[in-house]
Every structure is written in C-alpha cells, then in structure tokens.
Amino acid sequence: MRDYGYLRIMACSPRVRVADVRFNCETITEAIEAADAARAALVVFPELSLTGYTCGDLFGQNLLIDKAEEAAKEIVRVSRAKAVTIVVGVPVRFGGHLYNCAAVIRNGRLKGLVPKIYLPTYNEFYEGRWFASGAAFLGSPETVKYAGQTCVLAPAQLFSIGKASFAVELCEDLWTPVPPSSCHALAGAEVIVNLSASNEVLLKHSYRRSLVAGQSARTVSAYVYCGAGYGESTQDVVFAGSSFICENGTFLAENERFRMDGSSVVADVDIEKLTVLRQKENTFQAILPDGVIDPTLVGQQLSLLLFVNANALIVNIDGHGDIPEGGMEITVTDAELDILSGKMQMKLQGSLLCTAPLTVQITRSSTGLEDEFCCAGNCLSGNGETAQTLNYSPEGIASWFVHYTPVADSNETMTYVFTDASESRTLTVHFQYSTEGMDNGQWTKNNGQWTKVLRDGQLYLMHKGQMYDVQGKEINK
C-alpha cells in the first residue's frame, strides 16, 4: 500500500467502573478491536483507565495494583498480530512507590512505561497522596519487569510507528509552565498523546481546548488528548470524557461529551506536513537561560534518541533442528539496539508455541556476558554462569525475549536449546555478535566523545570527525 504520509489515530474514552479492573479491561479490549478494524495505527485511552482514576485510597490496596498488572498483561496478549499501537493508563509499583503511568503496547510487546511527572495536589486533586512523581527517572531511566515483560520506566521516551514518532505526557503535565511535550517535540516527536482525567467545572472545557490548541501549534505537532468519561463521576467531581485530536493548532476531531456509553474519535494526521513545517521554521528550537541553543532542551532526551549504527554489530540468528509438528516453534520478531542509561543493549523478541512442558538450556561463551532470558514471566539472568536450565510449563503461545549487554572489543555466543520434555524434540537457537575494534566511547554519549552540532536548525552529532543524525545515520558534511 502506498504511504501518503498520514497516521490514523483514535482517542477512546470508554465506559469505566471504578476499581472493576476486569470490566475495564474488557471494554478496552473491545475498543482495541474496533481501532484495529478501523485501521488506526495508534489508539489512546484515558489516565488510569484500567483501574479508574477516582479509586482514591483503594490505590493503597495490593489487590487492585496486582489486578491492574494482570489486566495490562491481557492487553499485551490481545495486541498480538495487530497493527495498532496501544497507550493505556495503569498504576505501576516500583521501588516502594506507586507511579501513575502510561503503558505503550504493540504486537505482544510492552514497549515502555511513561510515568506522570506533575502530580496535582490542590483543590479537588490529591494525587500526591497515592503516587510518586516520575521526575526521578528523567536523568536515570530504570529497566523494570511489568506484566511479564521487561521495559524502560522513564518520562523521556520516544516511540516509533513507521516514519512517525510519538511521546506521552499525562494530564497535569500539559498545564505546567514547561510541559514535557515541549521537550518531546524538540527531540523529534511529531505526535504527542495525553492520557487525562481532567474534570469539568465552569469554563474549564474551553480553557482545556485552548491549552491543547496552543501546545499543538507551539510544538508544530499533532496532539491527541483523551479524557476520562462516564463512570469516573463517583465522588465530588464530574468527568465528561472530553477527547480531541489537534494538528498544528487546528482541531481535526472532537467527541461528544457526557456520553453514558463511552465515545471515541478518529483522525488522519499529516505527519509529512508537520515535518516540512518544522524544517521551514528556523525558530523551532530552544534557547536556554544561559544562552545555549539546545534543540533537546534537556540532555536526557538525547540518550533516548541516539541509536548506534547497526553495522557496528554483527548478529547471526540461526535456528536449526527439527521443529515438532504442532508442538514447538520459535519465531524471532524483533532485534534492536539502544543505549539507555549509557549502555548498549541488544534486544531479541519472539514467540513460543508449545503444548507440553518445556526445558530451556542456556549456554554462554563467557562468564562476563550480561544477559537475561525470559519466557512467559519466568526469567534467568547470567549471574556469571555459563550454563543454566529453565523449566517452563506453557499454556499456549508465550512471548520470549533476550536482553544482553555486549562488551567492547569481544566476540560472544549464546545458545538456547528448547526441549519438549514429552516428545524429546529440540530446537536450537544460536546468537553470535562481534564488537571487535569498537571502543566503549562508541556506545555512549556522556563521556565527552559525542558533540552536539546545530546546523540549519537541526540537531546532529559529531563523533571522531564523523557527523550523524539522531538515529545514528552517517551524514555527509
């Protein structure tokens, strides 16, 4: 199909029952099916939509938080084999704190968790009573295990859908003097999504619309705002499910508020138009108080954008052996590089189909190899061992992934032997990589070897005399 540069987006405000996670998960699942049928590339749900925003002190109950994680796992399962990317609100427990997060999900993978930075604790809002701010992760993203998968927990993340990039902020983040979306847009996000639970008071709706239109125009972006609706109005506040999609300050779609059965809006956003407008506007940048011109505004944005040239890593994925009929099948679906937190990681994602108990034997060529193998929530880390065994009793199709951190100037191999215990059939998957000749400075930007260069209003990176764009592609000077 020809690509005309558009991205179809849906904002969905479904009916919600406060603290009834199963009901909320079912309504969200139905909406995901509808979004996929409508050929939407991105569907956005309101803030804390899996639990309901107005749970109050129920957020202190482990049962609610555990059920929300189970529901998130179900959403991940439902997303398999679908083309739509899902952004849903969920509470996430980590490090003794609870975070108000957006979960980004696509094709059976939890791509990332974005925590809310600004927590309103004034007037009718009490978020500081239950949640912690995600600001702590701005300079130091965390890798967390959630809903049976491993992903990054951090506010400063960009996600890709084809040629388009999007970022997430949550409700109050937009109402601040410097919204996170300003940084996201300068870092390259053409689309901003906002998961919200903004209530209704006199004239607030018109003010909310002006905020969205102004931020969309200021950042030359498409802004997707999705507000909580019917079912949240259970205490001293009223929610109308206000949702709209705005492109460069112009509203493309807006729903009908105060619907009892939920509502959604769909619009086709012109990504290519936004890109051209940003190229034309030489003021699309930020000048800091000290006079430094910095398109990213905050340094940590850069580490989420910079991808090492894939040619620097040699990866051979070789599956061999007999695949049992109707039994076990391994599929490698994704391989990517990033340097979050100053480390380069290789990520391999796949699916596992097995109808009988399974044994996974892992061998490594080096005790110093840092890796982790997970299957359906069961994980094994390297821990300095060259051989380990994982027993797994599957229930249908399970996702599996391998994350490992290559060491500079080395050759390493890992082998995974999957054995069907009942049939004694095996399938071997072999991974090999080489980083010979690559020094550690090649992988990180914080050691002074990467230099930011601004040319014609665009950000580039200079390393050892070679210029790169923020995706790691070499640029001719």
pLDDT in tens, the chain (477 residues): 456 789 999 999 999 999 999 999 999 999 999 999 999 999 999 999 999 999 999 999 999 999 999 999 999 999 988 999 999 999 999 999 999 999 999 999 999 999 999 999 988 888 999 999 999 888 778 889 999 998 999 998 889 898 899 999 999 999 999 899 998 998 889 999 999 998 888 888 899 999 999 999 999 999 999 999 888 866 678 888 899 999 999 999 998 888 888 899 999 999 999 999 998 988 887 766 656 555 443 332 222 222 222 222 333 333 333 434 434 444 444 444 443 333 445 555 555 555 566 677 777 766 655 666 666 666 776 655 677 777 766 555 555 566 666 555 556 666 766 666 555 556 666 555 554 444 333 333 333 344 555 555 455 566 555 666 655 566 765
Q: Report pLDDT for 319.
A: 39
- CA-wise closest residue to 342 among 409, 442, 261: 442
Q: Report pLDDT for 227.
A: 94
Q: Report pLDDT for 304.
A: 24
Q: What is the pTM of this model?
A: 0.66
Q: Report pLDDT for 462.
A: 60
Catalytic residues: 47, 116, 171
Q: Report pLDDT for 235.
A: 67
Q: Report pLDDT for 201.
A: 86
Q: Report pLDDT for 10.
A: 97
Contact 9, 266 (CB under 8 A): yes
Q: Report pLDDT for 458.
A: 57
Q: Report pLDDT for 374.
A: 66
Copy the structure tokens of residue 414: 């890992």
Q: Report pLDDT for 130.
A: 96
Q: Report pLDDT for 405.
A: 60
